[in-house]
Amino acid sequence: MRRSFRFLLRPTVRQAAALAAFLEDHRQLYNAALEHRRTAYAKAGVTVRYGDQSADLKLSAGRELIAVNPADTSRTCARCGHVAKENRVTQAEFACTACGHAAHADVNAAINILRAGLALREAAQAA
Ligand SMILES: [Zn+2]
């Protein structure tokens, strides 16, 4: 069964900047965790699993971690929900071919990922 959820999110300039910073933090965290897994395997032959790292982080940070399917998050318009490969003008540029919404591609994708996470959390709480 596939469910879809829609939440309208129109970040202000400040919120868009905060989302971009949030995304950059996550990019760095992801790369640091990847490096840790690679180093542990290369130097000690130890397999560190992504799931274990995530569980450790969740415990240490006291934050909620929600795994989100990233499919189409970079091609979906955060304003109107239109999904198209053509929405992605360049690696950094997003411009919706349906509604004209334009944003940094990472910020647009971050909004979609946040929305998907919130929808999953809401669905889990309703179940
Ligand atoms: Zn749109």
How far apart are the CA of 105 and the centre of ligand 1, in A? 13
pTM: 0.55
Average pLDDT taken over every residue of the chain: 88
How far apart are the CA of 97 and the centre of ligand 1, in A? 7
For residues 105 and 90, give the distance between their C-alpha atoms in angstroms, rounded to a whole number.
8
23 pLDDT higher than 70: yes
Domain limits, the chain: 31-63, 66-127
13 C-beta neighbours (distance < 10 Å), count: 7
How far apart are the CA of 13 and the centre of ligand 1, in A? 18
How far apart are the CA of 27 and the centre of ligand 1, in A? 25
How far apart are the CA of 18 and the centre of ligand 1, in A? 21
DSSP 45-99: -----HHHHHHHHHHHHT--------TTTTTB-TTT--B-GGGB-SSSEEE-TTT
pLDDT-derived band at 90, boundaries 50, 70, 90: very high
pLDDT-derived band at 11, boundaries 50, 70, 90: confident
